[in-house]
Amino acid sequence: MSIIISTNSTVEIVSRYIIKLNTISNRMNIYVNLLFLIFGNIGNLLKIFFFLQKPLRLCSCSVYIIAATITYFFLLNNIPVTRFLANIQSSSNTTKSISQINIGWYDSRIVLLHIDNIPMSIISPALYCKLRMYIQMLSTNLALNFVLLASINRYCLSSRVEKIRKYGQIYLQYRLILFTTIAWSLLSLHHFFNSNIEMINQRSTCLPKYLKYFIILSITYTVIMPMLMITFGLLTLSNVRNITKNKNLLQKHCLNQRIEYQLTWMILLEILLTVLGCLPHSLYAFYAIITRNQSKTIEQITFENMIDQISRMFGYIECSFGFYIYIFSLSTLRKRFINLLKTKLTCSIFTDHHHRNNITIKYLRRTLIVR
């Protein structure tokens, strides 16, 4: 009898533990992803608006920053949106049914809408898995590549060697961006064809069919590319000390030496945030691949899902809050951004006031003519 009571108490403790973890994961996916979506989209819009203004748009580095920011829109409005909507749906008491599908080692859902009591899926689970994986990996690869190209650009422009500085010219950056986008659009197609839904631990999971090919490409953007960013970041950091001594090195490429100097520090900060953001999920991704065929308890699976979600959230810090970090950390860019907002708001208010005055004058003239 005591054994039965002990077993029941153990099951009850495990059930409470699982429910607690699921509740925490649900709340994190709602509130954290909501913060990512709000602050990320607003910050990225402000970032594009800011870097399209003179003299920033004349800097070759700004081209990479704008290109990377565009990819951040796809990153933010892909997985965080579906996570947010799925967890809102699961926490509300509605009549819509939900089919469980684990996409990329974490719990996701495809919502089935009911029309006249006939379930109709918005998109098939297999196609949803393939498209989502392709968009996510393509956006990730492009973002990492653009940050890497920006770090190389900073190294070239901060070099004392004239031949190396020529590779930082702005016309070359457009060609590199176009080539990089086409190349990774084609290379990332393997994620579309290589993704498939499998049953792992009684759960529908979106996983690669050919694991070796996936691991090779995963090493590329989780190990090699961050190492290249760090390498060029350190080389740029060593060249930054010479910028103040050689004031004419960068004036050909940007109107303001101080802005160019601040952009270099911005890229260095972006490299740091990108590498730190990639590291947690990279470690977990390899762990998930290695242990994918191991049998696990329910509480272990639940705990790993929560760790996976937390590790993935680190990857969205740079594309959600990066702009705010740069603005508050770098004085020159912060002052220019504040002055730009003041100028735009003042012009908008003045234009609106001037337009109203013109309407009033025209109305008075017509009134006088009629009289």
Cα separation, 220 vs 190, whole angstroms:
14
The pLDDT of residue 305: 81
Of the two residues 214 and 57, the one the predictor is more confident about is 57
Query: What mean pLDDT comes out for the span 65-86?
Result: 87
Query: What mean pLDDT comes out for the span 37-49?
Result: 92
Does residue 98 have a pLDDT over 50?
A: no
Cα separation, 128 vs 206, whole angstroms:
10
DSSP state of 201: T
Of the two residues 1 and 171, the one the predictor is more confident about is 171
pLDDT tens by residue, 130-139: 888 888 889 9
Tokens representing 191?
């994620």
Sheet holding 195-200, edge to edge: 118-121, 107-115, 97-103, 203-208, 195-200
The pLDDT of residue 204: 62
Residue % of the chain over a pLDDT of 90:
10
Tokens representing 72?
């951040």
- CA 6 from chain centre, in angstroms, equals 48
Taking domain 24-329, whether its CATH number is 1.20.1070.10 is answered by: yes
Does residue 59 have a pLDDT over 90?
A: no
Q: What share of the chain is helix, strand, coil (3-state, %, to 5)?
A: 75, 10, 15
The pLDDT of residue 199: 63
The pLDDT of residue 9: 66
Cα separation, 309 vs 304, whole angstroms:
9
pLDDT tens by residue, 289-325: 787 777 777 778 888 888 888 888 888 888 888 889 8
Does residue 201 have a pLDDT over 90?
A: no
Query: What mean pLDDT comes out for the span 115-128?
Result: 55
User: Domain spans of the chain?
Assistant: 24-329, 341-371
Of 64, 48, 42, the closest CA to residue 264 belongs to 64
Of the two residues 349 and 39, the one the predictor is more confident about is 39
pLDDT tens by residue, 205-223: 677 777 667 667 766 777 7
Cα dihedral across residues 215, 224, 259, 251: positive or negative:
negative
The pLDDT of residue 358: 58
